[in-house]
Amino acid sequence: MRIPLAIIVACALVTGCKRASAPARPDGGGGGAGATVITQPNGPTIVQCPATGCPPDSAGPPRDGGELVVHVEAEPAILCDLVEHDAWSRWIAENVVTETLLFQDPWSGAITRRLAASFEATADALTLHLRPGLKWHDGQPFSAADVVFTIGRARDPAVGADQRSDFDPVSAVETPDANTVVLRLTRPAPFLKQALAHLSILPEHLYKGKDLRRAEASRAPVGTGPFKFVSWKQGDELVLQRNDAYWGEKAHLDRIRFRFVRDKEVAFELYKRGELDVLWQVPATHFDEVRSDPKLTGHRLLSWTPRTYFFIVWNSERGRLADPRVRRALTMLVDRTRFDEVAFGGHARPITGPYAPGTPSYDATITPWPYDPAAARKLLDEAGVKSMKLTFLYYGASRSAEQLGTLMKEDFAKAGVTLELASVDFAVQLDRLRHHAFDASALQWTLSLEQDNYDLFHSSQAAGGQNFGSWKSPAADALLDEIRKTADDTARHALDRKLHRLVHDEQPYTFISMREVESLLQPRVHALLPSQDGFTFARAWVSH
């Protein structure tokens, strides 16, 4: 079996992934409108979550106490999400142990308060008023100094935080008093509030003068959140405990145990034995059997779509791949529907561009290029390509990438394109991507609700940035530059849609799909809802 790696599993985080939990409100956002709930006498309760989020379950009232055991596939190396880019690192820590200044609803994108009791945004400043009297889990007082410290680290290029460029418009960070932080802006900062909503504030007294990766606090995080860190036995499990001194609404659970099980099949086995309460992702091979398994009666099966899309990046600087017609032809040779069926049992949604479908940035009028080998062959002829040889680079442990590769190999051959599969380990793939030493590669990105695609598509990002395909388009550059300067949401979304259309025409990526995830919860688990940003641990409770 292929062994997944701690660092890669979930996604490349374009901007932080956040977890949904609003302490002073009921379950994050107004989720669930339009959900379909199917209760079965001989099978699990199937909940189809719409784009507004998963609906809360109707059981109640919540009971305090008990322990929750959560399956984690890829154990993070450290728990400091400023430098650890793995999804689970965030899902365990952010807004569970540590907290952010603002909170972003993972479904609607609405930004509200959290550590900041209130905030004001003007054209040249963002002022945040912190809640007074907060304490860190170790008893030290929380203050604006911690915020300034954290933002300083986020902006430090040597740290490599995802949010760094979101703070570019900030010229100065001021603290008029211990509970106020003012960010002075030199120009509009459209992505700043979102960045703050995904920036866990770090305790300065534990990190000052230390390297973020090496500090003790990154292995035993100290925060202000509803849960406190207890212990972490590497390779085994990580334990959190309820923070009874929490400033907001206290959590119900006594303890959460995150159990690290690399193999999805083994985890599934353990779930069935009752050793795990939460399975974030049912393995694709069991999708159908799980829906009608009588042994899972009373369990909840939540079907939802994370904002992660699977795609093929073409090296737009190499030979024939520089011609958009060739890339378009290759896209038309990829049978995305068949791939979705084979890889995800059909549980996937199409996507045509680098924005979250259903958001105003996504141009819903664009239809995907069809799977049409004949038309592809014609396009190739038009571009003067008789035959072509390409190598498809992918991370060997990714089963879906391998499935995609084998499907493509077969289909491409029909149009005279020879595709060779190169399965490599993660480090090699990264190296080849960064050195642009590939023809095509399979990757996935996670989308923010306000997506800044500058790093992916701007020509300046080809050398050393995330523009692995070296796509250089002056039109795209102009749009991306403009997007970064447009604070007005409506105007910016219109620009986003323009970029969407451009990317669709030029196909620097072949967009495959967004896979649906089925999360499985034991009958005793209540009020635990998954989302792109993690689980609602603060609201969850167990019935025994």
Partner 1 sequence: MTGIARRFVVVPLTLVGITLVTFALLHALPGDAALVQAGTSRGASPEALAAMRHQYGLDRSLPAQYADWLARSARLDFGESLVDGRPVRAKIAEALPVTLGLALLAAALAFGVAVPLGAALGWLDRAPVVRATSSALYAVYALPVAAVALLVLRAGAPWGARTLAGMLPAAAVLALAETVKLARYQRGALLDALAADYVVTARSKGLGAAGVVAHALRNALLPTVTLLGSELPALLSAAVIVEQVFGLHGIGMMAFDAVMTRDVPLLLGITTVGAVATLAAVLAADVAYGLVDPRLRGRSA
Partner 2 sequence: MSAQRTLWRRFAATPGARAGLAILAVVVVAAALADLMPYGPEAQHPGGISAVLAPPSHAHWLGTDDRGRDVATRLVHGARVALLVGPLAVALYVLLGVAVGVTAALGRRVDFAVGRVVEIGLMFPTLLLLLAIQGVTSSTSLAEVALAIAITQWPYVARLTRAEALRVAALPHVEAARAVGAGRLRILAVHILPLAVTPALTAAAFGIGQAVLFETALTFLGFGVPPPTASWGELLAQAQASGLAPWLLLPPTVAVAAVVLACNLVGDGLRNALSARSSGGAGA
Is residue 12 helix, strand or coil?
A: strand
Asked if residue 262 binds partner 1 (CB under 8 A), the reply is yes
Instruction: Report 1-20 residues binding partner 2 (CB under 8 A).
Output: 1-3
Q: What, of partner 1, partner 2, none, does residue 283 touch, CB below 5 to 8 Å by kind? A: partner 2
Tell me how many residues contact partner 1 (CB under 8 A): 52
Q: What, of partner 2, partner 1, none, does residue 338 touch, CB below 5 to 8 Å by kind? A: partner 2
Nearer to partner 1, 71 or 492 (CB): 71
Segment (H or E) for 104: strand 102-104
Q: Shortest approach of partner 2 to residue 513 CB, angstroms? A: 15
Binding mask 390-429 for partner 2 (x = CB under 8 A): -x----xx-x--xx-xxx-xx---------xxxxxx-xx-
What span, in angstroms and rounded, lies between the C-alpha atoms of 270 and 202?
35
What span, in angstroms and rounded, lies between the C-alpha atoms of 282 and 161?
31
DSSP 146-202: HHHHHHHHHH-TTT--TTGGGGTTEEEEEEEETTEEEEEESS--TTHHHHHHT-BPP
Asked if residue 286 binds partner 2 (CB under 8 A), the reply is yes
Q: Shortest approach of partner 1 to residue 62 CB, angstroms? A: 31
From 249, 372, 425, 477, residue interacting with partner 1 (rule: CB under 8 A): 425
**255-260 and 67-72 strand pairing:** parallel
Q: Which residues lie across from 98 on neighbouring strands?
A: 94
Segment (H or E) for 399: helix 399-414
DSSP 126-156: EEEEEPTT-B-TTSPBP-HHHHHHHHHHHH-
Asked if residue 465 binds partner 1 (CB under 8 A), the reply is yes
The identity of residue 250, as a single letter, is K
Instruction: Report 185-224 residues binding partner 1 (CB under 8 A).
Output: 211, 213-214, 219
Scanning 79-87, 112-120, 280-288, 299-307 for contacts with partner 2 by CB under 8 A, the matching segment is 280-288
From 17, 151, 161, 521, residue interacting with partner 1 (rule: CB under 8 A): 161
Residues 388 and 439 sit within 8 Å (Cβ to Cβ): no
Is residue 333 helix, strand or coil?
A: coil
From 37, 145, 159, 407, residue interacting with partner 1 (rule: CB under 8 A): 159
Q: Shortest approach of partner 1 to residue 216 CB, angstroms? A: 9
Q: Shortest approach of partner 1 to residue 426 CB, angstroms? A: 6
Closest CA to 32 of 302, 308, 251: 302
Asked if residue 270 binds partner 1 (CB under 8 A), the reply is yes
Instruction: Report 427-446 residues binding partner 1 (CB under 8 A).
Output: 427-428, 430-434, 443
Asked if residue 505 binds partner 1 (CB under 8 A), the reply is no
DSSP 224-280: SSSEEEEEEETTTEEEEEE-TT-SSSPPS-SEEEEEE---HHHHHHHHHHTS-SEES
Q: What, of partner 1, partner 2, none, does residue 158 touch, CB below 5 to 8 Å by kind? A: partner 1
What span, in angstroms and rounded, lies between the C-alpha atoms of 302 and 287?
12
DSSP state of 94: B
Asked if residue 524 binds partner 2 (CB under 8 A), the reply is no
DSSP 346-364: T-EEE--SSS-TTSTTS-T
Asked if residue 261 binds partner 1 (CB under 8 A), the reply is yes
From 39, 186, 234, 418, residue interacting with partner 1 (rule: CB under 8 A): 234
Residues 521 and 299 sit within 8 Å (Cβ to Cβ): yes
User: By the criterion CB under 8 A, which residues form the site for partner 1?
Assistant: 1, 3, 5-8, 12-15, 77-78, 83, 85, 157-165, 211, 213-214, 219, 234-236, 259, 261-263, 266, 269-270, 425-428, 430-434, 443, 455, 464-466, 468
User: By the criterion CB under 8 A, which residues form the site for partner 2?
Assistant: 1-3, 265, 268, 283, 285-286, 338, 341-342, 345-346, 391, 396-397, 399, 402-403, 405-407, 409-410, 420-425, 427-428
